[in-house]
Amino acid sequence: MEKVYTTIGTPNIAFVKYWGRRNDSKNLPANSSISMTLDEKLNTRTSVLLSKKLNEDRFFLNGKQENLEGKNASEKSRLIKAALDSMRSAADSKEHALIVSENSFPTSAGLASSASGAAALIYCLNSALDLKMDTKQQSIIARQISGSACRSIFGGIVKWQKGSRNDGADSYAEQVVAPKHWPELIDIIAVVDSKSKKVSSSEGHTLTPRTSRLYRLRPEIAELSVDMVESAVKKKDFKILAEVIIRDSNNMHATMLDTYPPIIYLNDVSSDIIYNVHEMNVANGIVAAYTFDAGPNAHIITLKKSSKEIIKRMNGIKGIKEFIVSGQGDGPRMLPDSGSLIDMKRMAPMIRAQRR
Ligand code: PMV
């Protein structure tokens, strides 16, 4: 009997970021990176149905059908189709797929929707095609859709080793520690702007290494920072961790500004958050680190005991729309049939109001 498989996946926030590739077509990074997988407050839910009754592959994202092929297909959709084709051929399956995916948070707004989406999809296809791929193989395929997605295959603190091979077989993520190692470590997301970003991270990964002179220094600095984060996390040394996180975010955004033409993701509200975090750290000892991805939304990394004080302080900043407090997540998991996004009788997406 045909069956719908449904997975929930979550984004991750990089403490040392991936920015810039050594190979564009395979998403091979210039440096290793390390991140924290978030809990299910922000999530992507993905349902997959494989059926002989379907006459083509179909993909729905947030209720809208996306072209998987042809000139109207986005780069992400093409990469999704390529991953689907390769997994299907590994499983020797001839069935078409209906994929329905919903983000519980704004898409393409620098909140890592592509990481949670790609991780949820690969995890789901692995079950739907009964491939029994291990997490390393899943991480390699997820990486090809969106680099940072390879880290969302795992929970807790996760390291993506850049690798050196041209085929990418040694460029995948691995768990450093499970969430239970340091459950006090959390992320307070200050949502500043939930609109789609003007420059996609994919464009940036190509443009910055090509045009920024400052960027030449970054891969080596980032590699050292990854080692420092790994050791600080293992020792639960928040002071060192916070400084490396802050410096890496600033380093990455400096190379973005040095890109020609420049890429600017931070705005005045982001700057206010930066100054407030430093003022708090001077006044109270190191209590928080900020880090920004490809957008103005701040991720304030802190310990649970400081969260009230931080939110109170940040509430005084004009322009923050909401706070989302996230602990560490366990990585993707299967959901029961009741979580399905596909109406089996119509073989079509169900209309749900899951989005924030
Ligand atoms: O995986 P991508 O192509 O969306 O790039 C991610 C880029 C950053 O979020 C800025 C950094 C990171 O490592 O997550």
What's the CA dihedral at 121, 122, 127, 128 to 10 degrees?
60
Residue 210, pLDDT score: 97
Start-to-end C-alpha separation, the chain: 34
Q: Contact 193/51 with Cβ under 8 angstroms?
A: no
- In ligand 1, which atom is closest to the CA atom of 147? 1
Closest C-alpha to ligand 1, atom 8 = 293
Strands (E), 24-139: 28-29, 33-37, 44-51, 58-61, 64-66, 96-103
Which pTM value belongs to this model?
Answer: 0.96
Kindly report the protein residue whose alpha carbon is nearest to atom 6 of ligand 1: 148
Q: Are 103 and 44 in contact (CB under 8 A)?
A: yes
CA-to-CA distance for 348 and 126, rounded, in angstroms?
21
**The two three-digit tokens of residue 213, written as one number:** 């002179």
Q: How far is CA 162 from CA 29, 171, 183, 217, 248, in A?
A: 6, 5, 27, 16, 17
Q: How far is the CA of 63 from the centre of ligand 1 (A)?
A: 25
Phi, psi of 61 (to 5 degrees): -120, 120
Q: Which atom of ligand 1 is nearest to the CA of 27?
A: 3
Q: Which helix (H) or strand (E) holds 255?
A: helix 238-257
What's the 116 CA to ligand 1 centre distance in angstroms?
A: 12
Peptide bond into 349 cis (omega under 30): no
Which residue among 290, 293, 299 is best mutated to probe the pocket of ligand 1, counting the most ligand atoms within 8 A of its Cβ? 293
Ligand 1, CB within 6 Å, residue ranges: 14, 17-19, 33, 114-115, 146-148, 201-202, 205, 293-294
356 residues of the chain, pLDDT tens digit each = 689 999 999 999 999 999 999 988 899 999 999 999 999 999 999 999 999 999 999 999 999 999 999 999 999 999 999 999 999 999 999 999 999 999 997 766 667 778 999 999 999 999 999 999 999 999 999 999 999 999 999 999 999 999 999 999 999 999 999 999 999 999 999 999 877 778 999 999 999 999 999 999 999 999 999 999 999 999 999 999 999 999 999 999 999 999 999 999 999 999 999 999 999 999 989 999 999 999 999 999 999 999 999 999 999 999 999 999 999 999 999 999 999 999 988 889 986 544 44
Which 3-state string (H, E, C) describes 310-346?
A: HHHHHCCCCCCCEEEEECECCCCEEECHHHCCEECCC
Dump strand ranges (E) for the chain: 4-9, 12-16, 21-23, 28-29, 33-37, 44-51, 58-61, 64-66, 96-103, 157-160, 173-177, 185-191, 288-292, 298-303, 322-326, 333-335, 342-343, 348-349
Q: Output the pLDDT for position 184.
A: 98
Out of 12, 13, 19, mutate this one to test ligand 1's pocket (max ligand atoms within 8 Å of CB): namely: 19
